[in-house]
Amino acid sequence: MGITVVEVTKRFGDFVALDDVSVAIPEGSLTALLGPSGSGKSTLLRVIAGLDEPDSGQVSLGDDDVTHLPARARGVGMVFQHYAAFKHMTVWDNVAFGLKVRKRPKDEIRRRVSELLELVQLDGLSKRYPAQLSGGQRQRMALARALAVDPEVLLLDEPFGALDARVRKELRAWLRRLHDEVHVTTIIVTHDQEEAMEVAGQIVVINRGRVEQVGTPRELYESPANEFVMSFVGPVNKIGETFVRPRDISIGLEPDGESTEAMVERVVHLGFEVRAELVRDDGQHLVAQLTEEEAQALELERGLIVYVKPSRQTVFST
Amino acid sequence: MIGRYALRFGALGYLAFLLLLPVGLVFYRTFEHGVAPAWDAVTSPQALHALWLTLLIAAVAVPLNTLFGVTLAISLVRHRFPGCGLVNAVVDLPVALSPVVVGLSLYLLYGTGGWLGGLAGHGIKILFALPGMILATIFVSLPFVVREVVPVLREIGTDQEQAAETLGATPFTTFRRITLPAIRWAVCYGVVLTTARAIGEFGAVSIVSGRIEGKTETLPLYVQSQFEGFNTTGAFAASVVLALIALATVVAMRMFRPGGEAS
Amino acid sequence: MGISAVALSRREAVLSRAGGGIARGIAIGYLSVIVLVPMAALVWASRSQGMGTFWNEVTKPEAWSALKLTLGISFLVAAFNALTGTAIAWVLVRDSFPGKGFVNAVIDLPFALPTIVAGLVLLELYGPNSPFGVNLAFQRAGIVLALLFVTLPFVVRAVQPVLLELDREMEEAAESLGAGRFAVFRRIVFPNLLPAVLSGVALAFARAVGEFGSVVLISGNIPFKTEVSSVYIAGQVESDNPAGAAAVSVVLLLISLAVLLLIGAFRHWRTRHDR
């Protein structure tokens, strides 16, 4: 079922965590709430989950107004950044917890838990305790646990934040595949734009308690609504009031009337691409991105004088 | 919701009944007949001597236990040695052991027929004299500094000390400038506990001292002798002094309590 | 680094290790003189007239009755503390109200107050002069009250840190999975608190078994009725029966050691799931 948030405000003392936030999450989608720390994205997730109540506004799951309903009655599944594993229970008991609390019959529990453990590839570890699992395994267990009660909505609060880079990448792909299979409306909170772009079908960019933009990864990259969104979803050069992506800085060895002279300060080879740090003759520093071939064609090296101009640029009307 | 209020008032009610009533009563009974009788009782030569004796014993026991406590804590945490577990158990014993048993063991050790009973023959009087009382007080107040310092030492780990070593500090300098400041508050807290225990000790000292009025009577023992002599004002006046010390202890404990508190 | 500097630091290392060893030796010597030797003397004295006498002294009607009374009441008091101590710790950690800091501090009062003062006050409050009209002197109820007073801090202070550290997200996860408040407490909070509660109970039990000063006034020390073991031992010393006193003392010593072992086991149990 879809989720609708209407004009929600939430304060903690003097601090306004959410300021009149309205968002619509389509049914069956995988949406990311993207923003820096302190932006309010986790608060929004917790309000949707029912762990915090908004000061004003409305939250609906499907057609039901759940604003004042506590978490246990909403049928949401939640996964926390630090796993929140029940450390005194085995993996099996962790996953079975929601079913036991609902007093489901024993065979149903056995069947469902085995199914889920297989789905998350933890079958065989069911008798272990969380302390004996790796971070990635614990998080997969947490997902299985959340899915066990057939939630209408799956909420993930920076689920991969505590894992190392390689495990993070693996789990991202894994989550995407899982969503394709299970089709539960899923919201993932993250501060990592790469993660959001890779995993989500729709991204809600939040900053300082306000929604900055909602759109597909492509929409956000190609048509950012403002400076914040543009610089958050990818690196950007700010030249006065104009914004240029590193990819959109074209470099030539000869001036052509529109281009400006610049000197190459540093060339960084990142394997498949090259990042060049330049300084224009007016003192403006730029970062450009080119392929390995393009760099070689220019014989790019430190100290080289080149001529740069933006092939595409964005200006925001205020 | 109701549950929360019920729990809160139940718990607070129990505490008020169990703790506040007694403390209130101590002050009430003492000053029931006016301040003057209480003051006279507290400043009688016997009472003053008892107070002085109590403080003297504490003044010997606490520093010794502190020195011991810090030394042993460092040995236990930083240098693994055979018998660590046994030492740990022995250090914890005074907390779980009856003070009467403590007193008796000293009575048997230093009394006639005991292994060190011969000391009395050489003019070194342990029982029914100050040394025995000091030994008993040291015994019962032994663990506190150790038990407070050990977890702190464990928690801060050796990183800082190792960093100091790479920067050229000698072990002694490291101890003085890195370790000691790090355990400072734990030591303070331990000292407060040790002092409170030393001053308040009753059972062990009772057996070991013979309760000779004016000579081997500490303030807690004085309270008892006054009560048995039907001099309730005297007993309560001395109790007020001890209660005030206890309240000061509670305040000091709150100030120095290491790590997280409830509030 | 020059050669002389290396030699200097090596010598320092040797000296400091030797110094450390000496300090440790002195500390252990101190521990032995203060605790081990007296304990050894106690055990030796209890057996000095043979195991037969030891056993007789312990099973003498008065001694045995005192032991049974002591253990029974201590167990009761410790169990009661399990409930009240946990409840108080919960209120102090999870609840908030004006004066909470004061209440939190006051928990330490039974530790700081000399036992004889506590005993005197309890006698005045609940004995023949009681302003409430009750008279619990010379009764077991009086002993229970005194022991409740002195054992108050143990369970509270054992549970508080565990409750503070408890991962709130575990409770939130349980809630999101559909558990009601009571289910969350029963299935999540309680199992994680249990080892700490039991440690506190064990300490409270040990303290209650050995308690002397607060009990000696209000109980009246009536043999077979209100005489606890610690008072019995003191009486035996005064009656010039050191062997009898020593025998019962050794029983109490063994109980203390058993409790310490138990607490160690609880600590091990508590940390086995941590990583």
> Which is it for strands A273-280 and A285-291: parallel, antiparallel or unpaired?
antiparallel
Q: Suggest the residue from B26, B70, B97, B138 to mutate for an interface test with chain C (most C CBs closer than 10 A).
A: B97
C103/B4 Cβ within 8 A: no
Q: Which domain holds residue C10?
A: 1-47
Pairing verdict, β A30-34 and A202-207: parallel
Chain A within 8 Å of C271 (Cβ-Cβ)? no
C274 touches chain A (CB under 8 A): yes
Last residue of a domain, one of C30, C47, C64: C47
With CB atoms and an 8 Å threshold, state whether A78 touches C173: yes
Nearest CA in chain C to A147: C177
C139/C208 same-domain check: yes
Note whether B25 and B47 are same-domain residues: no
Distance CA A40, CA A19 (A): 9
d(CA C172, CA C184): 9
Considering only CB atoms, B235 lies closest to which of C36, C39, C120, namely C120
Neighbours of chain A (3+ CB pairs under 8 A): C
The full 3-state SS of C235-270, as one line of letters, equals HHHHCCCHHHHHHHHHHHHHHHHHHHHHHHHHHHHH
Of the partner residues C16, C37, C100, the one whose CB lies closest to the CB of residue B172: C16
Q: Inform me whether the C-beta atom of residue C108 falls under 8 Å from chain A C-beta atoms.
A: no
**Which chain C positions have a beta carbon within 8 Å of B4's beta carbon?**
95
- Each residue's pLDDT expressed in tens, for chain C with a length of 275 residues: 455 555 556 676 677 677 778 888 899 999 999 999 999 999 999 988 888 889 988 999 999 999 999 999 999 999 999 999 999 999 999 988 898 989 999 999 999 999 999 999 888 888 888 877 788 888 888 899 999 999 999 999 999 999 998 888 999 999 999 888 889 999 999 999 999 999 999 999 999 999 999 999 888 888 888 899 999 999 999 898 988 999 999 999 999 999 999 998 888 887 777 65
pLDDT at C12: 67
CATH number at residue B190: 1.10.3720.10
C180 to A72: CB separation less than 8 angstroms, yes or no: yes
Q: Which residue does chain A place closest to C172, by CA atoms?
A: A51
**Is B81 within 8 Å of C24 when comparing Cβ atoms?**
yes
Q: What does the angle CA C149 – CA C77 – CA B204 come to, to the nearest 5 degrees?
A: 60
Identify whether B263 is part of a domain: no
C32 and C113 within one domain: no
Task: Give the whole-angstrom CA distance, residue A109 versus residue A198.
Answer: 34
Which residue of chain C has the CA closest to B16? C103
- Same domain for B12 and B27, yes or no, is yes
**Do B2 and B66 fall into the same domain?**
no
Do C203 and C225 share a domain, yes or no? yes
- For the residues of B103-147, what is the DSSP string, one character each? HHHHHHHHSTTSTTTHHHHTT---TTSHHHHHHHHHHHTSHHHHH
- Could you tell me if B128 and B89 lie in one domain? yes
Do B4 and B60 lie in one domain? The reply is: no
What's the gap in Å between the CA of C125 and the closest CA on chain B? Answer: 7
Per-residue pLDDT, B260: 45
Q: Which of C94, C50, A63, A304 is nearest to B3 (CA)?
A: C94
Inter-chain residue contact B247 with C100, CB threshold 8 Å: no
Both C58 and C154 in a single domain? yes
A185: nearest Cα among A200, A170, A172: A200
- Contact residues, C window 221-250, toward A, CB-based 8 Å cutoff: none
Query: Same structural domain for residues B142 and B249?
Result: yes
Q: Which of C255, C254, C251 lies closest to C59 in space, CA to CA? A: C251
Q: How far is A294 from chain C (nearest CA, A)?
A: 50
One domain for residues B42 and B114: yes
| Chain segment A51-61, per-residue pLDDT in tens | 889 999 999 99
Q: Quick one: B20 and B128 in the same domain?
A: no
Q: How many angstroms separate the CA of residue B76 from the nearest CA in chain C?
A: 9
Q: Left (φ > 0), alpha (ψ -120 to 50) or beta: where does B34 sit?
A: left
**Band (A81; pLDDT cuts 50, 70, 90):** confident
Interchain proximity C175–A51, CB inside 8 Å: yes
| Same domain as C157, residue C41 | no
Residue of A nearest to C183 (CA): A101
Please tell me whether residues B8 and B47 are part of one structural domain: no
Specify the pLDDT at position C7. Answer: 57
Domain total for chain C?
2
Could you count the other beta carbons within 10 Å of the beta carbon of residue A256?
Answer: 9
pTM for the predicted model, two decimal places: 0.83
How many Å lie between the alpha carbon of C228 and the closest alpha carbon of chain B? 12
CA nearest to B227 within chain C: C120
How many independent structural domains does chain B possess? 2
At residue A182, does pLDDT exceed 50? yes
AA identity, residue B243: A
Q: How far is CA A11 from each of CA A8, A40, A211, A282, rounded to the nearest angstrom?
A: 10, 10, 16, 46
Interface A–C counts its CB contacts (< 8 A) at 75
What are chain B's partners, defined as 3 or more CB pairs within 8 angstroms? C
User: Is B183 inside any structural domain?
Assistant: yes
Give the pLDDT of residue B166: 79
d(CA B214, CA B205): 15
- How far CA C247 is from CA of B140, C222, C233, C241, C254, in Å, comes to 21, 21, 9, 10, 11
Q: Which of B5, B105, B146, B261 to mutate to test the interface with C (most CBs of C within 10 A)?
A: B105
B83 and B13 in one domain?
no
Range of the domain at B14: 1-32
Tokens 């050669």 found at: C3
Is pLDDT of B37 > 70?
yes
Which of A50, A73, A82 has the CB atom closest to C169's CB atom? Answer: A82
Is C108 found in the same domain as C22? no
| Per-residue confidence (pLDDT) for residue C5, from 0 to 100 | 56
**B77, B13: one domain:** no
**Closest to B146 (Cα-Cα) out of B180, B194, B81:** B194
Which residues on B lie below 8 Å from C253 (Cβ)?
97, 101
Of C169, C187, C191, the CB nearest to A80: C169
Helix/strand/coil for C198: helix
Nearest-Cα distance to chain C for A263, in Å, is: 46
Task: Indicate if the pLDDT at residue B261 is higher than 50.
Answer: no
> Is the same domain home to C68 and C172?
yes
Give me the mean pLDDT over the A120-141 stretch: 91
Contact between C175 and A70 using a beta-carbon 8 Å cutoff:
yes
pLDDT of residue B263: 33
User: pLDDT tens across A9-48, in order?
Assistant: 999 988 999 999 999 999 999 999 999 988 999 999 999 9
Minimum Cα–Cα distance from A149: chain C residue: C177
CA distance C164 to chain B (A): 7
B262, part of any domain: no
Average pLDDT for B246-261: 80
* Cα separation of the two ends of chain C: 42
In the block, residue with structure tokens 């908004």: A54
**Cα distance between residue B234 and residue B226, in whole Å:** 6
| B261: in domain | no
Shared domain for B17 and B86, answered yes or no, is no
For residues C145 and C223, state if they share a domain.
yes
Mean pLDDT of A277-294: 90
**Residue among C177, C182, C192 with most chain A CBs within 10 A, to mutate:** C177
Q: Do B72 and C24 touch (CB under 8 A)?
A: yes
Residue located via tokens 């009560």: B227
User: CATH no. for residue C83?
Assistant: 1.10.3720.10
B23 located within any domain: yes
Q: Are B58 and B137 in contact (CB under 8 A)?
A: yes
Are A and B touching by the rule of 3+ CB pairs within 8 Å? no
